[in-house]
């Protein structure tokens, strides 16, 4: 699964888990993306869109 938003290109980020002992291990922060079929600016798209874009473009996106 490609965890990248079609509208804003938001994707996974790298970071670290930090334990109480200050030992750090690598981890990934994944965006909250949902699989949708939607119309945006007159074009039909099928793919992943992040929930932030769903809220931001609420009036411009029509879900099918």
pLDDT band of residue 10 (cuts 50, 70, 90) is very high
The 10s digit of each residue's pLDDT in 16-49 is 999 999 999 999 999 999 999 999 888 898 999 9
* Assigned domain for 4 exists: no
Query: Which is nearest to 32 in space by CA: 59, 57, 17, 13?
Result: 13
| pLDDT value for 40 | 85
| pLDDT value for 1 | 61
| pLDDT value for 64 | 84
Residue 17 is part of which domain span? 13-63
Count how many domains the chain has.
1
* Assigned domain for 23 exists: yes
For the chain, count helices (H), then strands (E).
1, 5
According to DSSP, the β-strands at 33-40 and 24-29 are unpaired
User: What strands, in cross-sheet order, belong to the sheet with 43-50?
Assistant: 43-50, 33-40, 61-63
| pLDDT value for 59 | 86
* Assigned domain for 3 exists: no
């Amino acid at each position: 699964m490609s965890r990248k938003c079609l509208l804003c290109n938001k994707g996974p980020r790298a970071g670290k888990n930090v334990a109480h002992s200050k030992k750090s291990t690598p981890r990934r922060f994944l965006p909250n993306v949902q699989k949708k079929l939607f119309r945006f600016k007159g074009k039909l798209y099928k793919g992943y869109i992040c929930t932030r874009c769903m809220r931001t473009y609420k009036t411009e996106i029509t879900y099918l």
